Amino acid sequence: MTRTIDRRTFLKAAAATGIVVACGDQGAPAGGGGTAKGTISGTVTVSYADEAGLKPKYVQLAADGLRAKYSGVDVKIDHQKIGSGDFYTKLLLALNAGDVPDVIHVGGDKIGELADAGHIEPLDGYLKQWEDWSKVYPDAVKSGVTYQGKVWAIPYGLDTRFLFYRKDVLDKAGVGATWTGPKNVDDILEVAKAVKSKVAGVIPYALYAGPAGDSGTANHAFIPLLWAYGGDLQKDGKWIGDSPALRKVLDYYGRTYRQDLSPKEILTTAKPWTAMREKLGLKGELALLFEGAWNYGGWVTKDKAATERNVGYALFPTATGGPSFTIGGPGTAWYVTAKSKNKDAAWEFVKAFNTKEIVAKLNIEDPHPVARTDSAEVAEFKADKYLVDSTESLKKARFAPPDANFGKVIGVIQKATARVATGEMSADDAAKRYTDELRQAVGADKVITQ
């Protein structure tokens, strides 16, 4: 019933604006199989959120490109101006109720849970007929979007992270303006202490903890530390609970917060990363921050010269050595929904977006390493030092496991870090609780301890 209303209203609007819409058959064969071009028609609904404000014009470009290629297709763009967290919640509510857009745009880390829920469509059938996939997408990128042997989403801007620091603040703290990175993990705290004692009005270090930090608590704080201390999230497909590395990480959190090196606001503010990145990049009120590499773009847009002068970036150190690795991710990606009524056309849209030009241009504005190797060869891309460095950093990046339960594990990580950061529990007690909660979240049979 809703469908008919949509079409009627839509036709009226179409007549008014002159868009040609074919009243063609909207059925599509069951997913995965590519079909002849002639049957690409109907309406494709594209649903996405975008906080940075950079994507709409590219989504529009892709839509225009698709319409130009197939005159029988129309694209309805549902751009929701809410945060990506809220967007995901609403999307899940919609998918569960049966309101299914054809194309969705969410983080690549959601592949596991969305696939398990039956919300998304595997793309292997389509990929066989898309030569770009085999030509310009490296294996590492492909494995980032593979789950249970199938590919579920197309990434375009990959995630990498840097340890950002304010050169001017570190200079005042006596660390020196030519600092290129901490000697080891504890050195970060040493530098933070220097900032705290010598530079007034500047937050030394932002170490995300608790649920307020969202996935940042895991990706931008906990997990790199865990790897730095030689631990890991999984071994042989099982999640690791209590381990020596875990205890060291929780102890690190305890030390950081007990010495007031990281602000307590992180635990209570909504979206603390907004304030933190503003403070580091724009205001110089934060000295050290491990965050997504893309933030640099926002700072550059505001004040290129100042950013290049004041903001430095490095890889993350290990427990014993200097900057050597980072954490990567598939970034936000494009999916086709499983219950879409127009999967072929949906796939065509995804292809229309993921062209060499769009991928390159978007990631120049919103700096991410690109998923396509040919986009990286675009002149403007190669000319930007930061982009080149970001892409390089991916070679040293480790990735979190693409597991459907990763979301639940993030919740457990948030609780554990909050407990030590607030001083509610000691690192050892928190580690024990971590194991219990991990067992509760993913099933006791999937958890081991070291």
Q: Tell which positions 413-442 bind another protein, by CB under 8 A.
A: 415, 418-419, 421-422, 424, 433, 440
Binding of residue 237 to another protein (CB under 8 A): no
**Residue type at 53?**
G
CB of 72 to another protein, least distance (A): 25
Nearer residue to another protein within complex by CB, 142 or 415: 415
Q: Tell which positions 278-297 bind another protein, by CB under 8 A.
A: 278, 281-282, 295
**Would you say the C-alpha torsion 167, 171, 174, 179 has a positive or negative sign?**
positive
Binding of residue 92 to another protein (CB under 8 A): yes
Binding of residue 52 to another protein (CB under 8 A): yes
Please say whether the beta carbons of 320 and 302 come within 8 A. no
Q: Tell which positions 201-230 bind another protein, by CB under 8 A.
A: 210-212
Helix or strand holding residue 421 (H, E): helix 406-422
**Would you say the C-alpha torsion 166, 168, 173, 178 has a positive or negative sign?**
positive
* DSSP assignment letter at 280: I
**Would you say the C-alpha torsion 369, 374, 380, 385 has a positive or negative sign?**
positive
The first and second tokens of residue 424, run together, are 């509610």
Q: Tell which positions 356-415 bind another protein, by CB under 8 A.
A: 404-405, 407-408, 411, 415
Binding of residue 125 to another protein (CB under 8 A): no
Bridge partner residues of 183 (DSSP): none
CA dihedral defined by 68, 29, 155, 124, rounded to 10 degrees?
A: -130
Nearer residue to another protein within complex by CB, 243 or 405: 405
CB of 287 to another protein, least distance (A): 15
Q: How far, in Å, CA of 281 to CA of 264, rounded?
A: 20
CB of 113 to another protein, least distance (A): 4
Please say whether the beta carbons of 76 and 46 come within 8 A. yes
Bridge partner residues of 166 (DSSP): 311
Q: How far, in Å, CA of 45 to CA of 20, rounded?
A: 16
Site string for another protein, 136-175 (x = CB under 8 A): ----------------------------------------
Please say whether the beta carbons of 59 and 46 come within 8 A. yes
Nearer residue to another protein within complex by CB, 224 or 263: 263
From 94-102, 220-228, 322-330, 350-358, give the range in contact with another protein by CB under 8 A: 94-102
In the block, residue with structure tokens 């179409």: 14
Binding of residue 94 to another protein (CB under 8 A): yes
Binding of residue 301 to another protein (CB under 8 A): yes
Please say whether the beta carbons of 162 and 293 come within 8 A. yes
Q: How many residues bind another protein (CB under 8 A)?
A: 64
Nearer residue to another protein within complex by CB, 298 or 322: 298
Helices (H) and strands (E) in the chain, counts: 22, 16
Q: Tell which positions 103-122 bind another protein, by CB under 8 A.
A: 110, 112-114, 116-119
Pick from 64, 46, 49: nearest CA to 358:
64
Nearer residue to another protein within complex by CB, 226 or 276: 276
Within 13 Å, how many C-alpha atoms sit on residue 282's CB side? 14
**Residue type at 153?**
A
Site string for another protein, 258-277 (x = CB under 8 A): -----xxx-xx-xx--x--x
From 146-154, 299-307, 311-319, 368-376, give the range in contact with another protein by CB under 8 A: 299-307
Nearer residue to another protein within complex by CB, 177 or 441: 441
CB of 237 to another protein, least distance (A): 16
Helix ranges, 259-398 (H):
272-277, 295-302, 304-310, 343-353, 356-365, 373-376, 379-383, 385-393
Which of 7, 76, 90, 183 is in the footprint of another protein by CB under 8 A?
90
SS3 134: helix
Residues near another protein (CB under 8 A) are: 1-2, 5, 50-54, 78, 80-83, 86, 89-90, 92-94, 96-99, 110, 112-114, 116-119, 210-212, 263-265, 267-268, 270-271, 274, 277-278, 281-282, 295, 298-299, 301-302, 404-405, 407-408, 411, 415, 418-419, 421-422, 424, 433, 440
